[in-house]
Amino acid sequence: MEARVGNNMRRVFVVMCVGMVLTVFGALVAAQQADQKQEPKLADKQERNAGDALDLDLPKITITTFNVVAPVLAWGYDGNPVGGLRPEQFHIFDNGVEQQARVDVSFQPISLVIGIQANSAVEHILPEVNKIGNLIKPLLLGDQGEAAVIAYDSRIRTLQDFTTDPDKIAKAVKSIYPGSTSVRLVDSVEAGMRLLAHRPKNRRRIMLWIGEARDMGSQARGRETMIDLQLYNIMFFQVDMSHLLETLSGPPREPDRRALSQPPAAYPMPMNQVATPTTVAEAYGPENQVQFMPLMEEIYRDAKAILKANPTVVFTRATGGNQFSFYRGKGLEQAIEKIGDQVHAEYLLSYNPNKEVMVGQGGFHQIKVEISSPLVKKVQTRPGYWAAALAQ
């Protein structure tokens, strides 16, 4: 009996020893596996630290590329837009160097901001303006288009954010009422740009401003606003109320330089260019007479006279848009219809400026479009854009 008990105790002792050995062995194996798992992480960390150290030793090079959009309108000899042109017929030049352009012949959805002057001067006109909300969708936007509505006097009010609902657009336009005497036109354009800046890149960005051509009280600078319009690829259109206001309320508070009724010396002209009836007509006259490039280059040299006198002329022509005037309610509807005709008849060219025109060439870049077609008499597009020079 005692021998049997002793044998059992020995078996228990052996089992306990074996268990302890297995436990220790398992712990060692687990520790080794954990070390093996951590080694790659440590190596990765060391590589990252080495990479960080390397980044500190090497200069960081940033290459900036951007997309230039040029809406193109091809006019025929009959005075109407020419349709059916093929992509290979278009040639676009940036500072005289031809670029590899993409031609979008399909209609891109529109994001439109409508800005309406709402100060005390337009009190008698606003009832006519309030009616045009129902025209925006069918004449300008199309099925996939969207619009936002801004009213401006001394305040800048966003009455409707972007919507595709024509009833909401019409309601926002109808709700505008006259306010103070200020006309913060340039500030309102800045507000419209902030709205458009967040729209998808595959949408056309357009502004339609209805009001006077003058500005009173804005804090933003017209030159920087014009440059931003170009950088954001925004087309600017204006329907000018000035002539109708003159009819309703007598002489305007400020001379209308575009009427060409002032002596030539009263008009701001580019540096070293004499103000004569011919040169003034070229700069301020009808669209088919405009030679706007000298004035554009002067504006980029920070000349302020033209922007102060009539910022909307600069905004429209600098972006490829147009300016229309109206003398009665029907004239406003007709102007919106003409803007819609232009927008829907345009070809949309886009390109990424190549290194040849970007390296060392900061400032104003002139855009020129040629179309290889005997049907085309005249080509209309934006005159150019502003860009910073790239280093070698």
Contact 236, 321 (CB under 8 A): yes
Which residue, among 97, 105, 109, 101, has the nearest Cα to 350 in the 3D structure? 101
Q: In the prediction, which pLDDT does 63 show? A: 39
Q: In the prediction, which pLDDT does 16 show? A: 55
> How far is 212 from 192, CA to CA, in rounded Å?
17
- Alpha-carbon separation of residue 359 from 258, 351, 362 (angstroms): 38, 16, 8
Helices then strands, counting H and E runs in the chain, come out as: 13, 14
> How far is 227 from 364, CA to CA, in rounded Å?
10
Work out the pLDDT band at 163, boundaries 50, 70, 90: very high
- Alpha-carbon separation of residue 218 from 95, 181, 182, 215, 223 (angstroms): 33, 13, 9, 7, 13
Work out the pLDDT band at 311, boundaries 50, 70, 90: confident
Q: What is the pLDDT of residues 102-157, one digit of tens each?
A: 888 667 899 999 999 999 988 888 888 998 899 999 999 988 899 999 999 999 99
**20-29, 184-193, 238-247, 351-360: least confidently modelled range:** 20-29
> How far is 236 from 381, CA to CA, in rounded Å?
12
**Model pTM score:** 0.69
Q: In the prediction, which pLDDT does 7 show? A: 53
Which residue, among 304, 293, 283, 247, has the nearest Cα to 125 in the 3D structure? 247
Amino acid identity, position 344? H
- Assess whether pLDDT exceeds 80 at residue 83: yes
Q: Domain 107-346 classified CATH 3.40.50.410?
A: yes
- Assess whether pLDDT exceeds 50 at residue 58: no
Q: Which pair of tokens denotes residue 99?
A: 């670029």
- 112-139 in b/e form (b: 16+ CB < 10 A) is bbbbbbbbebbeebbebbeebbebbbeb
Work out the pLDDT band at 191, boundaries 50, 70, 90: very high
- Assess whether pLDDT exceeds 90 at residue 164: yes
> How far is 38 from 218, CA to CA, in rounded Å?
62
How confident is the model over 7-18, as a mean pLDDT? 52
Work out the pLDDT band at 278, boundaries 50, 70, 90: very low
- Assess whether pLDDT exceeds 60 at residue 28: no
- All structural domains of the chain with their residue ranges: 71-105+348-392, 107-346
The single-letter DSSP state of residue 107 is P
Q: In the prediction, which pLDDT does 308 show? A: 60
- Assess whether pLDDT exceeds 80 at residue 251: no
Which residue, among 147, 156, 166, has the nearest Cα to 118 in the 3D structure? 156
